[in-house]
Amino acid sequence: MSAFDRDTRMAPAAPDGGTACLGQVSPAWNIGSNPNGGYLLTLAVAAVRQHTPNQADPLSVSVHYLRPGLSDEPCQVDVQVLRSGRTLSTASATLQQQGQARLALLAAMGDLGASTDPVLTVPKPDIPPPEQCPARSAGAQGVGLPILDRLDIRLHPQAAAAATPGRAEVSGWIRFRDGRAPDALACLLFADAFPPAVFSLLGPVGWVPTVELTVHLRQRPAPGWMLGQFWTHDLCDGRVVEDGRLWDSTGALVAQSRQLALVRLPGTA
Amino acid sequence: MSAFDRDTRMAPAAPDGGTACLGQVSPAWNIGSNPNGGYLLTLAVAAVRQHTPNQADPLSVSVHYLRPGLSDEPCQVDVQVLRSGRTLSTASATLQQQGQARLALLAAMGDLGASTDPVLTVPKPDIPPPEQCPARSAGAQGVGLPILDRLDIRLHPQAAAAATPGRAEVSGWIRFRDGRAPDALACLLFADAFPPAVFSLLGPVGWVPTVELTVHLRQRPAPGWMLGQFWTHDLCDGRVVEDGRLWDSTGALVAQSRQLALVRLPGTA
């Protein structure tokens, strides 16, 4: 069993099939001493999936982070299916630890098993192959990154320079270190696993807490490296809106993401 | 009192200050016979505001539409404040009519009263002034648009032609007909009041129901016309992800939006 599958297992809290699921937040996906937000999201969506059979793919998921997660601690996810439909179902969920909600989400779940040719799409950008891109390192960021033992992330060395003026950007490659193929759930994690794009503009400004993250998934990814591109042109009053896209190894656009995060600008309290 | 203020009034359901608010869905903001989704959202956020004093601005709001709203019918909004913080508070809410949830949302509320200069922003695009842009008309869309008696919407006549290849686009100007100045709440409505961008590619393909809409607000708009630009480069399997931006009359970027909607492509069942 892959590390990601093992670390996102959720079990019904009661044998009668109630709305609560229990799991464990592994410390292996930490950024510093906090669990990565994308990883916490995958735990919650793994629970949502159990309540939307035949619709296991998050077509659109929006999560608000309320408090930092606690690594190496149990978690409980409570799921409420708000509407069950033929092509999509909508659910809300909260993830709690030690009796406090850590995140709340809304998700539209569907089935991306049979994808057709897109009418409009965004082609994969042309960046150097993974072997020519340096690995994301903890040193450059001033914080320990245990998650890098699970994820192999290679950063385009000229991403910042290649970006349009007025835009901070990071891009590169991502895959699980243990060879597990990416899937819909993994895309939620990959959408929040690159360094914040503002680092390319401001340098490593420390923790950039995510307030809200929305991911739209359009198809399931093919096996192999995924390419991620994340950028922002909206940084104001200590809030940044970062956009992202993920392509799979066939060049197909698989997911789009957007997040609101807080940035402590140099020179401010 | 302006029509928008009158039609978004929400009153506590109980004098003791419970979590429910009551309102009335006016038929004046309809697209065909359904209330506009952006209008329903403003009703819900007007209720959320009452529970987050001093934090009346939706910094980030994500709404999932569960069932069409019912125009000219009462509605009830139930609000749950998930976390109250110094700079932002997070709430969930549902809007119900006739005992069924019509939408569910998550919102991060804050105070955009004191905005500073942006570090990164997107300049206002150069489009012809409102008097050179034709009004959005119901005829071109094959559906009655009562909402156009409330909103003055002028469309850039060459928006589609000016768009990058592989991108469907609509842009233009928007304001309240009765002269009410735009504000944070109005931006949520304006983010869902232009014709779907795919119309510029496919022609008027009928109702394009929104599954999910996220709006990020970065500052309060100045009085006057607002400029909206909406586009998509993601149309696949009958689902479209449309992005949008709103600028105010000073040229400041005020809001960014993204929505997932369903499109019935010509030639499909």
DSSP string, B61-77: EEEEE-S---TTEEEEE
Between B41 and B163, the more confident residue is: B41
Mean pLDDT across chain A:
93
Between A164 and B216, the more confident residue is: B216
DSSP, collapsed to helix, strand or coil, labels residue A240 as: strand
| CATH for A3-112+127-262 (2.40.160.210, 3.40.50.2300, 1.10.3720.10, 3.10.20.600) | 2.40.160.210
* pLDDT at residue B18, rounded to an integer: 81
On whether ipTM exceeds 0.90, the answer is: yes
What's the rounded Cα separation, in Å, for the pair B9 and B11?
Answer: 7
Q: List the single range of A58-67, B15-24, B118-127 with lowest mean pLDDT.
A: B15-24
pLDDT band at A199; cut points 50, 70, 90: confident
- Cα Dmax for chain B: 57
Q: What is the DSSP letter of A264?
A: -
Between A265 and A52, the more confident residue is: A52
Q: Which residues contact A181 (CB under 8 A, 6 or more apart)?
A: A221, A223, A224
Q: Which residues contact B56 (CB under 8 A, 6 or more apart)?
A: B49, B109, B111, B184
For the segment A232-237, the average pLDDT, to the nearest whole number, is 92
What's the rounded Cα separation, in Å, for the pair B26 and A127?
Answer: 52
Mean pLDDT across chain B:
93
pLDDT in tens, B89-106: 999 999 999 999 999 999
Answer whether residue A64 shows pLDDT above 80: yes
Torsion of CA A128, A228, B200, B242, to 10 degrees: -170
For the segment A72-78, the average pLDDT, to the nearest whole number, is 98
Residue among A104, A112, A240 whose CB faces B106 most closely: A104
**Residues from chain A contacting residue B240 (CB–CB below 8 Å):** 120
Whether B67 has its CB under 8 Å from any CB of chain A: the answer is yes
What's the rounded Cα separation, in Å, for the pair A255 and A228?
Answer: 9
What's the rounded Cα separation, in Å, for the pair B28 and B3?
Answer: 9
Burial call B68-80: b when 16+ CB within 10 Å, e when fewer: bbbbeeebbbbbe
What's the rounded Cα separation, in Å, for the pair B187 and B202?
Answer: 27
Report whether B187 contacts B245 (CB < 8 A): no
| CATH for B3-112+128-262 (3.30.9.10, 2.40.160.210, 3.40.1160.10, 2.60.40.10) | 2.40.160.210
DSSP lists the bridge partners of residue A242 as A259
Answer whether residue B71 shows pLDDT above 80: yes
Q: Which of residues 103-162 of A touch B (CB under 8 A)?
A: 104-106, 108, 112, 115-122
Closest CA to B35 of B27, B43, B45: B27
Whether A205 has its CB under 8 Å from any CB of chain B: the answer is no
Answer whether residue A104 shows pLDDT above 50: yes
Whether B212 has its CB under 8 Å from any CB of chain A: the answer is yes
Whether B91 has its CB under 8 Å from any CB of chain A: the answer is no
What's the rounded Cα separation, in Å, for the pair A190 and A192?
Answer: 5
Q: Give the global pTM.
A: 0.96
* pLDDT at residue B141, rounded to an integer: 67
Q: Is the backbone of residue B251 left (phi > 0), alpha (psi -120 to 50) or beta?
A: left
Answer whether residue B269 shows pLDDT above 50: no
Decide if B168 and A121 are in contact by the 8 Å CB cutoff: no
What's the rounded Cα separation, in Å, for the pair A92 and A79?
Answer: 6
pLDDT in tens, B163-195: 777 889 999 999 999 999 999 999 999 999 999
For the segment A183-188, the average pLDDT, to the nearest whole number, is 98
For chain A, the structural domain boundaries read: 3-112+127-262
Report whether A37 contacts A210 (CB < 8 A): yes
What's the rounded Cα separation, in Å, for the pair B257 and B191?
Answer: 6
Between A15 and A98, the more confident residue is: A98
